[in-house]
Each structure stands twice: as structure tokens, then as C-alpha cells.
């Protein structure tokens, strides 16, 4: 007698999805560091007093987290056909979680984000409107999908445009408006964008023997040495902006030491791959690149709190 396959439970299917596509624990840490470095820097660059975090900050963090989750959901629709070819074993491609279910999840997230934007006031709502508008452009790949797919770094640059907009939104909520954001806040935008680009570049390294004609990677486009230089350049932007912020806010000397350590960690990964472009070294690029950018943001967040102190409240 033939037996029908039992569909996994709702929670089992969604747990499989988050584990594969948006691991909640690791993403919560990474997003907390992005949020904290931006939220506290907006205050530290405009005041010598204690830093603060209250209900508005938690609401802004929730909005940041959900925005990045929504970007992942958008990507599932945008990249579905490509992933069927290059990653047929993924949860969505196997139908364990369907696009229809993701459409419902996306609708719920949009409703929550709209409520948070309304609760935080008109100026944060306008700032978030810019974020959401850019997300919609990303969803349709700026109406030049085919061209962008042939220019991997331009693709990354255009899509990383969302990062400074998210940071401007966080800074607007932190200070109660965008008019109070100082000129030096551009270094925060530069650091966050460099971090995002470094992570994006580092995760798309492959050994020459593992390259696929249907999968665009930096190593396939620029070669092992060229891709390593691209990765180093993005790390240099993040580290340079972080160093500027460390000096501008007069943080403790160990913060600069951690920034230097983060830079060395990333350079080691890129240099090892450039010298020996093997599969294990390609994996190390992603691991060491991720560690480098986490160290950069961690150093700024902890350095600001240690220097200024932290109080609860808005």
C-alpha cells in the first residue's frame, strides 16, 4: 500500500526556513550591532552626556529587524527562478515554505512596520517611507534587472543604498528628527555601508573549480586577486570610517586597537585566498570577513557605552 508523505508542522517548516535563510539568533546580534552603533553614535556626536535607550529605541530596533527580514522575503520572490537552478535544495525551492505563505508573512510585516512608523511620529515615519520606497525599487531591481545581473559589484552598490537610509531612519528616531543629525554622521553611514558591502563581497567567494556559469560571484568576475582587493577595499572603508568616529568621539584607546585587529583579521582572509584560491580558503574569507565587520561594530558600540554611560529612557 502506498503511503502519503506527511507534511511537516507549521512551526517545523518555519523553523527550517529561518534556520536556512534568516537565522534569528545570529541576525539579532548583527542587527543589534548595526542598530546600536547608529543609535548611540547619533547621540554621542551631538552631546557629551549619557547615552539613552528607551521604548522608542526598542521600537526602532524592532522596525530595523523587521525591515531586514522583509528584505529577505522580497529576495525570495526576486531570486526564486535563479535559486531553482543554483540552489534547488533550499526550503522555498523544495516547497516546504511556499511563496504564497511568504506573501502572507510579508503582508504582516508591512502592517507592523506601518504601525511602528505611525507610533514613532511624523518625521520618523517620513524617514521610514524613504526606506520602504527604496525597498520597493530593490524588489524590482530598479527596473534594470538584466543589466544589473551582469555587473555584480554595481548590483551590490545599488542594493547597499538601503543601509544608509536605514541608518538615517535610526538616527532620526534617536534624536527626534533629522535636522539634528551632525555632518559627522556621514561617517556612520560610511561605516555601515562598508560593513554591508564587506559582508556581501566576502560571502561570494568560490574556488575556481567550484564556479558555476549560472552563479555570479566576485571571484568569477574579478579573479582571486581582484576579488580579494575588492573585499579589502570595502573593509578599508568600514575601518576608516570607524577610526574617524573613534577619534571624533574620543573613545578609549582599546577601541582603536579592536578596529586594527578587525582590519588584520579581514586582510588575513583575503590574502590567504589570493595566494591559494582553494575551497577551504573561500570559506575562510566569509568567516573572517564576517568576524572583521562584527568586531568593527562591536568596538564602537561597547566603546561608546563605556565612555558615556547608558541610561534607560527617551
87 φ/ψ angles, rounded to the nearest 5 degrees: -140, 65
Write out the three cell numbers for 185: 554622521
Q: Is residue 220 part of a domain?
A: yes
Residue 5: per-residue pLDDT: 62
Domain annotation covers residue 314: no
Task: Report the pLDDT value the prediction gives residue 216, as an integer from 0 to 100.
Answer: 86
Say which CATH number the domain at 264 has. Answer: 1.10.600
State CA 117 to chain mean position distance: 21
- Tell me whether residue 16 is in a domain: no
Q: Which domain holds residue 201?
A: 22-309
pLDDT score at 26: 92
Assigned domain for 2 exists: no
pLDDT, mean of each 10-residue run, the chain (314 residues): 65 93 94 97 94 96 97 94 91 94 96 94 94 94 87 90 96 91 96 96 94 89 96 97 97 96 97 97 96 97 97 86
How many domains, in total, are found in the chain? 1
Is position 299 within any domain?
yes
Phi, psi of 165 (to 5 degrees): -65, -40
For 284, the enclosing helix (H) or strand (E) is: helix 279-308
Query: Does 13 map to a domain?
Result: no
Residue 279: inside a domain? yes
C-alpha separations of 237 from 37, 41, 189, 190, 278 in Å: 16, 17, 11, 7, 26
* pLDDT score at 25: 93
**Structural domain contains residue 8:** no
pLDDT given for residue 195 in this prediction: 97
Q: What is the pLDDT of residue 1?
A: 42
Cα 247–chain centre separation: 25
Cα-to-chain-centroid distance, residue 52: 24
Amino acid at each position: 500500500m502506498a503511503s502519503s508523505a506527511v507534511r511537516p508542522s507549521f512551526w517545523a517548516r518555519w523553523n527550517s526556513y529561518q534556520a536556512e535563510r534568516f537565522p534569528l539568533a545570529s541576525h539579532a546580534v548583527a542587527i543589534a550591532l548595526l542598530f546600536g552603533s547608529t543609535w548611540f553614535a547619533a547621540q554621542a556626536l551631538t552631546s557629551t552626556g549619557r547615552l539613552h535607550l528607551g521604548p522608542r529605541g526598542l521600537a526602532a530596533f524592532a522596525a530595523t529587524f523587521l525591515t531586514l527580514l522583509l528584505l529577505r522575503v522580497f529576495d525570495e520572490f526576486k531570486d526564486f527562478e535563479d535559486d531553482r537552478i543554483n540552489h534547488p535544495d533550499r526550503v522555498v525551492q523544495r516547497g516546504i515554505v511556499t511563496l504564497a505563505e511568504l506573501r502572507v508573512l510579508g503582508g504582516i510585516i508591512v502592517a507592523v512596520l506601518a504601525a511602528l512608523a505611525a507610533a514613532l511620529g511624523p518625521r520618523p515615519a517620513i524617514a521610514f517611507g524613504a526606506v520602504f520606497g527604496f525597498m520597493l525599487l530593490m524588489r524590482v531591481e530598479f527596473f534594470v534587472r538584466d543589466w544589473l545581473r551582469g555587473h555584480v559589484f554595481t548590483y551590490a552598490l545599488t542594493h547597499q543604498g538601503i543601509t544608509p537610509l536605514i541608518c538615517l531612519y535610526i538616527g532620526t528616531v534617536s534624536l527626534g528628527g533629522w535636522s539634528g543629525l551632525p555632518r559627522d554622521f556621514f561617517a556612520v553611514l560610511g561605516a555601515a555601508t562598508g560593513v554591508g558591502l564587506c559582508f556581501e563581497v566576502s560571502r561570494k567567494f568560490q574556488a575556481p573549480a567550484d564556479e558555476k556559469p549560472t552563479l555570479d560571484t566576485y571571484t568569477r568576475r574579478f579573479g582571486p586577486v581582484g576579488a580579494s582587493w575588492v573585499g579589502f577595499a570595502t573593509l578599508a572603508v568600514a575601518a576608516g570610517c570607524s577610526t574617524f568616529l573613534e577619534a571624533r568621539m574620543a573613545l578609549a584607546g582599546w577601541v582603536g586597537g579592536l578596529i586594527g585587529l578587525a582590519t588584520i583579521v579581514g586582510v588575513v582572509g583575503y590574502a590567504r585566498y589570493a595566494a591559494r584560491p582553494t575551497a577551504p580558503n573561500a570559506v575562510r574569507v566569509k568567516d573572517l570577513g564576517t568576524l572583521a565587520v562584527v568586531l568593527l561594530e562591536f568596538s564602537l558600540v561597547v566603546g561608546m557605552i563605556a565612555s558615556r554611560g547608558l541610561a534607560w529612557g527617551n
